[in-house]
Homo-oligomer: A and B are copies of this chain.
Amino acid sequence: MSEMKTFDLKHWSEQQMDLIEKALNDWVPREVGGSLGASMRYAVLGGGKRLRPLLCLATRQSMRLQGEEGGQGGAFDQAALRAACALELIHAYSLVHDDMPCMDDDILRRGQPTVHVQFGQAMALLCGDSLQALAFELLTPSESLVPARVQAVLCRHLSQAAGHAGMAGGQAIDLQSVGVVLSQAQLQEMHAKKTGALLHACVMMGAACSQAGALSEKLESSLSGYARALGLAFQVVDDILDVVSDTQTLGKTVGKDAAHDKPTYVSLLGLRGAQTYAQTLYQQANDALMTSGLRDVAALGALADLVIKRKS
């Protein structure tokens, strides 16, 4: 626990962000397909909290074995960095498609024009499609860089989290729930897929980048519990911010959920109820870390803290 108390999230995040931004800058193509490359770089390199990559790298860190090859040269660090970037690419593609006129019709993202405003709808469509493909490309480099076994596990986690049973499936439920009264269980299922599945994959993919190989049942259950609580908390806080924040701080249009008559945790539980629920989930995430048996969970704990306290 002393590690958690003295852990400097800002310093750690800055170090990791350097790695992530450099890798994304290297791996997202420049001049390809006319302005396709430019649109991909615009979508990915225009900032963002990089929560998903950080979560992946924090989990990798928690799994590092004593004496395991260290530094960014090791195959497992290489794998984790690729996994972290692949997760960010999937997140970025989902935002590009989500912002399109036929979906949320948003013109502003991180304070900048959305991709379809900047590059046109057709290019935004192809940009998102290409980012999804690129995610799997990053996960499957030469086997001299990342062992085939790890590549397969990473692709398995990512495809399941991104697809019909995960993110895209959750978006489809969301799409069809406008104006519909959902129970808390239904809202939970929607968000577990829409945002939870990818956050869960961040943790499981980070954990797969380790010499330890397959996880013990106990460890998998602990990490899974942490990831699920964090994912839900993230969405509850999102709903709270949509009500209490302003467009400038948030970098995207606020109040859209209410305007679109979308069910949220705030509409379901009230603002106070949603805040209490977020705290409960935060506690669950920390409890799961405590029971994991992992030595170095400081970064994972600090990220849970960040998710609850974030202002944007």
Contacts and interface: CB of A to CB of B under 8 A. Distances in A.
Contacts of A136: 136, 155, 158-159
A204 interface: no
A220 B81 CA distance: 31
Given A151-B152, A176-B34, A168 B130 contact: yes
A36 B125 contact: no
Contacts of A148: 148-149, 151-153
Given A133-B164, A164-B33, A172-B123, A152 B143 contact: yes
Interface in A138-174: 139-141, 143, 148-149, 151-153, 155-156, 158-160, 162-166, 168-173
A88 to B, nearest CB: 16
B126 A175 contact: yes
A149 B143 CA distance: 9
A97 interface: yes
A32 B172 CA distance: 9
B35 A176 contact: yes
Nearest to A124: B102
Contacts of A255: none
Q: DSSP class of A's interface residues: helix, strand, loop or mixed?
A: helix
Contact of A168 (B126, B141, B163): B126
A165 B32 contact: yes
Contact of A169 (B32, B135, B140, B165): B32
Interface residues of A, number: 57
Given A33-B172, A172-B36, A102 B121 contact: yes
Contacts of A169: 32-33, 36, 130
Interface of A: 29, 32-37, 40, 93-94, 97, 100, 102-103, 120-123, 125-126, 128-130, 132-137, 139-141, 143, 148-149, 151-153, 155-156, 158-160, 162-166, 168-173, 175-176, 193
22 contacts: A32-B164, A32-B172, A33-B169, A36-B169, A93-B129, A94-B129, A100-B125, A102-B122, A103-B122, A126-B168, A126-B172, A128-B129, A129-B129, A129-B168, A130-B164, A130-B172, A133-B160, A134-B163, A136-B136, A140-B152, A148-B153, A151-B151
